[in-house]
Amino acid sequence: LVINASRSSGMQIPDTFMGVFFEEINHAGAGGLWAELVNNRGFEAEGEKVPSSLHPWEVIGDKPAIVVSIDQTSVFQRNRNALRMEVHCDHSSSCLPDGVGISNPGFWGMNIEKGKKYKVVFYVRSTEGIDLKVSFVGTNGGKLASSEISGVGVNASTWRRVERVLEATETNHYSSLQITATGKGTVWLDQVSAMPLDTYKGHGFRMDLFQMVAELKPRVFRFPGGCYVEGNVLKNAFQWKQTVGPWENRRGHYGDIWDYWTDDGFGFFEGLQLAEDLNALPIWVFNNGISHSEQVNVSAISPFVQDALDGIEFAIGSPTSRWGSIRASMGHPQPFNLKYLAVGNEDCQNNLIPIYQGNYPVFYEAIKRVYPDIQIITNCDASKQPLTHPADLYDYHHYSLTANDMFHKAEDFDHASRTGPKAFVSEYALIKEDAGNGTLLAAVAEAGFLIGLEKNSDVVSMVNYAPLFVNTNDRKWTPDAIVFDSHQVYGIPSYWLIKLFKESSGATFLNSTLQTDSPTLAASAISWKSSVDGTSILRIKVANLDKKAVIIEISIEGLESSVSFSKLTKTVLTSSNPMDENSFSEPNKVVPKESLIQNAGKIINVHIDPVSVTSFDFNM
């Protein structure tokens, strides 16, 4: 492997190169990164696949001590459902000491940890004579924290907001939240929320999951989908206006693509906020009138265009503008740094092409007229033929079915036009047999792909793995980079691979020649200046898809003779079996392992393991 390390002969990789794609799939947000513990907090979950708007709440106690129903008397105009409980639980009955009530299991159990604090908020109205208690309860029935609210009601027509901070005295990873009542009367509950106080900057993001994403150093953040943006039918697509403003007044919606209800706590604002917190540029994907089963023709597209324009105003408009003022009221008067928009998801395909190509120019022109600097991304693939409409970037998705195909797939871009819009590889992954739920083999195959994209980074601006998250209790798609449940998390080998590429954004891609005709080896070299101490680092990455080890000679040319290496770090991602995966019980089975190589010169022989990705960092 001959590397020309003279920076002047290199090419700058775009600053935006490595990003992440966040989609509300597999409970990535609701029951995931969004730290809300209560599931169906407003009793609104009424999607076709959810028979009861009470689900997953359960009733504690039996008739006649408690009779529960849902009525439409909420104080919140957009979500009228409220829970009504008739309570017959006075001192003469047998339901003491805690009374009767309701219990919410969250998303397959709430992680309540000893010493941590949780803010519980709910709305209540009741007749006189009812006392309430709110508690976190462990799987053995033991209380982890509780608070009493005595004499909630005097006037049953007045809603009252109750807020309590509960500190847990024990840990239980699968707890539930209970609200119980004693006395005799009727009580209504609505918009019940329980959040850990400890979220990233208090912004509502679950700390461990936020950290996992932040460690990838993403430069762009595509959201909120994916097919989630389209919906099977338009009524169930993500509609940003329903997801902004006070959480209590969000309608929530049934995401019919991935088949679950979300309360929309993680809405449009939260996506923009998350991008900002990650120091990444948001890329908003909006619906362009196309769902999986319905399409709006160009003659009726104007409400969708207006919706997109309003969304941009929400993100970057003045805090006194109609939609910008809502952003400001949510605590963010400064505009977000929204510079990229994607018109739809996977819509320029098959029989949809004429509709997409009819609608797209209307969005493009309307947006450019008001926001000429915003970069617009089309769904039409320009890697093989030129586009028929203007665009700043084009979206490119690829899911390989075999490791070999994935390893070589970036060769598509070797032949792409060097003029015209660049590619946004906004979804890629190896799936199916070779990939399992995230094998080493998949990561090595994807390394070949990413190396190929680095080489083509004159025409590829950004790259995202997909999907980012899975809650193992509701796996709709596999593999997914970050795997979690209520309290555990690990990265699959592909996650660790992305980490090996995180310094590529903005780095110099160096000319290198791998003098072999092996179809199972790929290598690249980059250099950049460390943001920590300003030193230059040269990183060589070698992917070996073969089941045999190889020795390669690395020869670094183009450096002044005075330059020497202070340190050479070798990092290897491999395992004894290509099909090895990480798991909750073995989260570090396939993770990169570092070692130091002593006395490195400008020519060295290195051992490359079978089915592995190896990086060599030369500190100069």
Binding-residue pattern over the window 223 to 242 for ligand AHR, x denoting contact by CB under 6 A: --xxx---------------
H helix and E strand count, the chain: 9, 33
Nearest to ligand AHR of 109, 226 (CB atom): 226
Nearest to ligand AHR of 227, 600 (CB atom): 227
- Residues numbered 15 to 54 that lie near ligand AHR (CB under 6 A) are 23, 25
Element (H, E) at 177: strand 172-196
Nearest to residue 280, comparing CAs of 221, 213, 210?
221
CA distances from 371 to 285, 310, 317, 541 (A): 16, 12, 10, 40
Do 66 and 100 contact (CB within 8 A), yes or no?
A: yes
- Residues numbered 187 to 226 that lie near ligand AHR (CB under 6 A) are 225-226
Spatial CB neighbours of 587, under 8 Å, sequence gap ≥ 6: 488, 489, 490, 491
Instruction: State the minimum distance, in angstroms, from the CB of residue 291 to ligand AHR.
Output: 13
Instruction: State the minimum distance, in angstroms, from the CB of residue 224 to ligand AHR.
Output: 10
- Total of residues contacting ligand AHR (CB under 6 A): 11
Instruction: State the minimum distance, in angstroms, from the CB of residue 279 to ligand AHR.
Output: 23
Nearest to ligand AHR of 42, 467 (CB atom): 467
How would you classify the pairing of strands 482-484 and 469-471? parallel
- Residues numbered 332 to 371 that lie near ligand AHR (CB under 6 A) are 345-346
- Amino acid occupying residue 93: S
Cα separation, 349 vs 364, in Å, equals 19
- Residues numbered 415 to 434 that lie near ligand AHR (CB under 6 A) are 427
Nearest to ligand AHR of 248, 346 (CB atom): 346
Please compute, for residue 88, the number of CA atoms within 13 A of its CA located in the half-sphere on the CB side.
8
For the record, the structure tokens of 343 come out as 């018109």
Nearest to ligand AHR of 349, 576 (CB atom): 349
Instruction: State the minimum distance, in angstroms, from the CB of residue 208 to ligand AHR.
Output: 22
One of 343, 466, 497, 525 touching ligand AHR (CB under 6 A): 466
Nearest to ligand AHR of 394, 565 (CB atom): 394
Nearest to ligand AHR of 25, 380 (CB atom): 25
Determine the residue with CB nearest ligand AHR: 226
Instruction: State the minimum distance, in angstroms, from the CB of residue 465 to ligand AHR.
Output: 9
Instruction: State the minimum distance, in angstroms, from the CB of residue 124 to ligand AHR.
Output: 39
CA distances from 329 to 242, 323, 506, 538 (A): 16, 10, 35, 47
Instruction: State the minimum distance, in angstroms, from the CB of residue 156 to ligand AHR.
Output: 46
Instruction: State the minimum distance, in angstroms, from the CB of residue 499 to ligand AHR.
Output: 20
One of 108, 174, 477, 528 touching ligand AHR (CB under 6 A): 477
Nearest to ligand AHR of 478, 488 (CB atom): 478
Nearest to ligand AHR of 231, 592 (CB atom): 231
Do 383 and 413 contact (CB within 8 A), yes or no?
A: yes
State the DSSP string of 464-532. Answer: EES--EEEGGG--SS--SEEE-SS-EEE-HHHHHHHHTGGGTTPEEEEEE-----TTEEEEEEEEE-TT
111 touching ligand AHR, by CB under 6 A: no
Q: Count CB neighbours of 396 within 10 A.
A: 22
For the record, the structure tokens of 495 come out as 């996650």
Length of the chain: 620
State the DSSP string of 342-382. Answer: EE-SS-SSGGGHHHHHHHHHHHHHHHHHH-TTSEEEESS--
Instruction: State the minimum distance, in angstroms, from the CB of residue 425 to ligand AHR.
Output: 12
One of 19, 32, 196, 467 touching ligand AHR (CB under 6 A): 467
- Residues numbered 570 to 609 that lie near ligand AHR (CB under 6 A) are none
- Residues numbered 147 to 186 that lie near ligand AHR (CB under 6 A) are none
Nearest to ligand AHR of 204, 225 (CB atom): 225
For the record, the structure tokens of 216 come out as 């990838």
Nearest to ligand AHR of 304, 396 (CB atom): 396
- Amino acid occupying residue 469: F
Instruction: State the minimum distance, in angstroms, from the CB of residue 223 to ligand AHR.
Output: 12
Instruction: State the minimum distance, in angstroms, from the CB of residue 134 to ligand AHR.
Output: 37
- Residues contributing to the site for ligand AHR (CB under 6 A): 23, 25, 225-227, 345-346, 427, 466-467, 477
